[in-house]
Amino acid sequence: MKKGLLIVFSGPSGVGKGTIITKLMKIEDLRLCYSVSMTTREKREGEIDGVNYFFVSEEEFKKAIYDGELLEHAVFVDHFYGTPKKYVEEKRSEGFNVLLEIDTVGAKQVMNQMKYDDECISIFLVPPSLEELEARIRHRASETEEVVHKRLRKATQELKETFRYQYIVCNDDVDKAVDSIAKIIREAMQKVKDEA
C-alpha cells in the first residue's frame, strides 16, 4: 500500500485553522487523519484530552522529547507543543494523509526532515488582514489581554514565514478556503499515484 501524505498546515493563531480542519475531515475522499498534538497549555472550555490535544505536564513533555517520541516540537506563547511521531508514521503507512496543524517553528523542523519526501506538502493559511485577525482572536475571548497581545505579536512573526510553504491560502471565505485546500490535497494524491 502506498504511504499517505504528510500535510503541514500552519497559520497564525485565530486565522480559523480549526474550522477549516473540521470541514476538511468530513471530506471522505481526502482520507485525512488528524495528528493530535501534545501540549502543556491549559485546556480551553470544550476541549477534550486526546481529541484536541494530549494535555500533559511540563515533565511529561520533556520526557517525550528525551525519549525521542516527538517528530517536532516548539514553544508557542509560553507553552510546549509537539507532534507524537509514532501515530503519524502508523497512519501514513496505513495509507492515510496525516494533517499536522503546527506552528512555523515546528513546521520548519518537519520540512527539514522531509525535504526529500515528495509526499510531504505544506500549506499556510493567511487572514484577509491583520485587523480581521485581531478581531477573531479577541472574539474567542478565552485568553487574557496579555496572552492576546503575545498571540498577535507571534502572528506578525509567523506571517513572515509564509515563504517556506508550498501553498498559501487566504481565509476570506471558509468554504472557498476548504475547496482550495481540498484541491491541493487531491492534486498531491494524484501526483503520488502517477509516480507510483
Tell me which residues in 43-102 interact with ligand 5GP (CB under 6 A). 72, 74, 76, 81-83, 101-102
Q: Is 180 in the site for ligand 5GP (CB under 6 A)?
A: no
Determine contact, residues 110/71, Cβ cutoff 8 Å: yes
Residue 154, CA atoms < 13 Å, CB-side half-sphere: 22
Determine contact, residues 65/97, Cβ cutoff 8 Å: no
Sign of CA dihedral 97, 102, 108, 110: negative
Q: Is 4 in the site for ligand 5GP (CB under 6 A)?
A: no
Q: How many residues does the chain have?
A: 196
CB of 190 to ligand 5GP, least distance (A): 27
* Phi and psi torsions of 166, nearest 5°: -75, -35
The residue whose Cβ lies closest to ligand 5GP is 106
CB of 76 to ligand 5GP, least distance (A): 4
CA 96 to CA 45: how far, in whole Å? 30
Q: Is 13 in the site for ligand 5GP (CB under 6 A)?
A: yes
Tell me which residues in 105-134 interact with ligand 5GP (CB under 6 A). 105-106
| C-alpha to C-alpha distances, 146 to 27, 37, 150, nearest whole angstrom | 37, 24, 6
CB of 74 to ligand 5GP, least distance (A): 4
Tell me which residues in 25-44 interact with ligand 5GP (CB under 6 A). 37, 41
- The residue among 81 and 165 lying less far from ligand 5GP, judged by its C-beta, is 81
Question: Would you tell me which residues interact with ligand 5GP (CB under 6 A)?
Answer: 13, 37, 41, 72, 74, 76, 81-83, 101-103, 105-106
